[in-house]
């Protein structure tokens, strides 16, 4: 189902495209390669098709950690497999839950990951060192059950008093271990899983029914939800739920994947900061970046993160203040210009950047058209725009951008190369 997008920059690029069949061949599994396309001098093609389907290629369960506006592992995998060799470094400056890093590590690549939100590293890094479930069970059993005195934060609308006491005890213990320098891989794993189990809409979560796990309701909103549903928080056994989720995350992990993760963990970089300034990464050290920046003002990261921040002893207001929330395109573009300049610095010659943007404002604003000139100005050449058009089904797990009116979802990825 190859079709061309039809506006602005995209039109200009498509016009330069002579042999559409060669592109269709690339888009299919059988033929073509980036090298061949480049060699044929076809700059900036637009490929529109379903590059992957949910069923086509199963992703590792290890990815199943929810985060607002995350993408599917198939997206980074498409580029990692085609554009890097094992051992090369793959980077994501807007890492979120760490989809790029985890997928790259599973595939035997070295990884670097950055996000201004400190929750990102807390969620991503532990999955490069998955523990044995028995060790998790033993650690959970050893954590003292006594809850510390309340801290003034009212959580009664989310949790049964006994569940809340367990959560507070776990929180206090994890924070004390970290503060005392005693935190180890098991603590980090438990912290990651517990952060993900805090709230959600099924009995697999610690809370009474609430919004999906990546969007914490405010206390006031939760009271309303409880009223409307005539519900009071039931008891949930937090240790059992942490163990259950641990088993789910580890299910199907192969020996080869474990070995790849372990190797990647040894050299992984997890940075917490603004994507425009990453002194923790050397010049020309990255073979491939796969990333998805914050889109204009569509996601309220601060409001969505308050409970996760509380659990991890983070100030959600301070976290929110750093997150790019540009409401207008010029402000967004100014930030992305800085990001692309920094990516040019860290990308090795011949390395690539796959920059995923969504269709926003009902498809009227195509951010790839804004990103292309910024990448060129930063010194990249633009190889093409890939539009992953996915037929919408109810069970399809979406990409954080809403379903558009045509009943499809699209990811729009600008692919750059550093000459």
Ligand X SMILES: C[S@@+](CC[C@H](N)C(=O)[O-])C[C@H]1O[C@@H](n2cnc3c(N)ncnc32)[C@H](O)[C@@H]1O
By CB under 6 A, name the binding residues for ligand X. Answer: 67, 69-71, 93-94, 96-97, 99, 115-117, 120, 274-275, 292, 294, 301, 323-324
Give the ranges where 107-152 is alpha helix by DSSP (H). 119-124, 133-142
Q: Among residues 191 and 236, whose Cβ is nearest to ligand X?
A: 191
Contact by Cβ (8 Å): 68, 215 = yes
Q: Among residues 11 and 334, whose Cβ is nearest to ligand X?
A: 334
Q: Among residues 70 and 136, whose Cβ is nearest to ligand X?
A: 70
Q: Among residues 163 and 324, whose Cβ is nearest to ligand X?
A: 324
Q: Among residues 71 and 206, whose Cβ is nearest to ligand X?
A: 71
Tell me how far, at minimum, the Cβ of 36 lies from ligand X, in Å. Answer: 29
Strand partners, 352: 288, 417
Tell me how far, at minimum, the Cβ of 374 lies from ligand X, in Å. Answer: 15
Q: Among residues 117 and 207, whose Cβ is nearest to ligand X?
A: 117
DSSP code for 61: G
Q: Among residues 126 and 294, whose Cβ is nearest to ligand X?
A: 294
Using DSSP's 3-state secondary structure scheme, residue 45 falls into coil
Tell me how far, at minimum, the Cβ of 233 lies from ligand X, in Å. Answer: 28
Q: Among residues 115 and 369, whose Cβ is nearest to ligand X?
A: 115
Q: Among residues 186 and 290, whose Cβ is nearest to ligand X?
A: 290
Tell me how far, at minimum, the Cβ of 222 lies from ligand X, in Å. Answer: 23
Tell me how far, at minimum, the Cβ of 400 lies from ligand X, in Å. Answer: 6
Listed in sequence order, the residues at least 6 apart from 58 whose beta carbon sits closer than 8 Å to its beta carbon are none
Tell me how far, at minimum, the Cβ of 162 lies from ligand X, in Å. Answer: 33
Task: In whole angstroms, give the CA distance from residue 322 to residue 299.
Answer: 14
Task: In whole angstroms, give the CA distance from residue 337 to residue 212.
Answer: 33
Terminal Cα distance for the chain, rounded: 31
Going by C-alpha positions, the residue among 104, 316, 76, 297 that lies closest to residue 195 is: 316
HSE-up (13 A, CA, CB side) for residue 9 = 19
Task: In whole angstroms, give the CA distance from residue 248 to residue 66.
Answer: 14
Residue 89 backbone dihedrals phi, psi, to 5 degrees: -90, 130
Tell me how far, at minimum, the Cβ of 79 lies from ligand X, in Å. Answer: 13
Tokens 């995998």 correspond to: 77
Tell me how far, at minimum, the Cβ of 295 lies from ligand X, in Å. Answer: 7
Tell me how far, at minimum, the Cβ of 309 lies from ligand X, in Å. Answer: 12
Contact by Cβ (8 Å): 128, 112 = no
Going by C-alpha positions, the residue among 386, 312, 296, 382 that lies closest to residue 340 is: 382
Using DSSP's 3-state secondary structure scheme, residue 170 falls into helix
Going by C-alpha positions, the residue among 347, 331, 340, 350 that lies closest to residue 419 is: 350
Task: In whole angstroms, give the CA distance from residue 157 to residue 168.
Answer: 15
Q: Among residues 61 and 237, whose Cβ is nearest to ligand X?
A: 61
Residue whose Cβ sits closest to ligand X: 96
Contact by Cβ (8 Å): 351, 313 = no
Distances (CA, A) of 365 to 70, 258, 336, 375, 415: 20, 41, 16, 18, 19
Tell me how far, at minimum, the Cβ of 346 lies from ligand X, in Å. Answer: 14
């Amino acid at each position: 189902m190859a079709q061309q997008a039809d506006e602005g920059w995209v039109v200009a690029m498509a016009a330069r495209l002579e042999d559409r069949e060669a592109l269709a061949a690339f888009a299919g599994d059988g033929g073509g390669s980036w090298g061949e396309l480049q060699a044929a001098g076809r700059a900036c093609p637009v490929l529109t098709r379903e590059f992957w389907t949910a069923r086509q290629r199963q992703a590792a369960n290890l990815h199943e950690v929810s985060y607002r506006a995350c993408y599917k592992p198939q997206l980074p995998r498409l580029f990692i497999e085609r554009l890097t060799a094992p051992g090369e470094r793959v980077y994501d400056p807007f890492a979120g839950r760490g989809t790029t890093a985890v997928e790259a590590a599973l595939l035997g690549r070295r990884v670097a990951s950055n996000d201004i939100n400190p929750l990102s590293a807390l969620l991503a890094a532990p999955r490069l060192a998955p523990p044995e479930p028995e060790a998790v069970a033993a650690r959970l059993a050893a954590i003292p059950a006594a809850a510390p005195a309340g801290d003034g934060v009212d959580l009664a609308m989310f949790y049964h008093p006994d569940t809340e006491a367990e959560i507070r005890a776990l929180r206090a213990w994890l924070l004390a271990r970290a503060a005392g320098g005693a935190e180890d891989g098991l603590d980090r794993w438990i912290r990651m899983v517990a952060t993900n189990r805090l709230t959600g809409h099924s009995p697999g979560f610690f809370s009474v029914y609430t919004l999906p796990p990546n969007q914490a309701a405010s206390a006031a909103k939760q009271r309303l939800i409880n009223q409307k549903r005539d519900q009071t928080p039931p008891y949930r056994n937090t240790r059992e739920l942490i163990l259950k989720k641990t088993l789910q995350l580890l299910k199907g992990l192969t020996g080869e994947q474990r070995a790849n993760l372990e190797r990647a963990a040894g050299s992984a970089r997890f940075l917490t900061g603004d994507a425009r300034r990453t002194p923790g990464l050397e010049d020309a050290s990255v073979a491939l970046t796969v990333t998805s920046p914050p889109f204009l003002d569509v996601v309220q990261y601060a409001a969505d993160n308050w409970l996760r921040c509380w659990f991890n002893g983070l100030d959600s207001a301070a976290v929110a203040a750093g997150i790019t929330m540009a409401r207008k395109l010029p402000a967004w573009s100014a930030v992305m210009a800085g990001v692309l300049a920094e990516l040019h610095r860290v990308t090795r010659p011949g390395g690539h950047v796959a920059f995923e943007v969504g269709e926003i404002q009902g498809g009227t604003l195509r951010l790839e058209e804004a990103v292309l000139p910024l990448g060129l100005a930063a010194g990249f050449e633009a190889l093409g725009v890939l539009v992953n058009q996915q037929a919408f089904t109810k069970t399809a797990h979406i990409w954080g951008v809403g379903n558009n009116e045509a009943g499809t979802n699209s990811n729009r990825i600008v692919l750059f190369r550093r000459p």
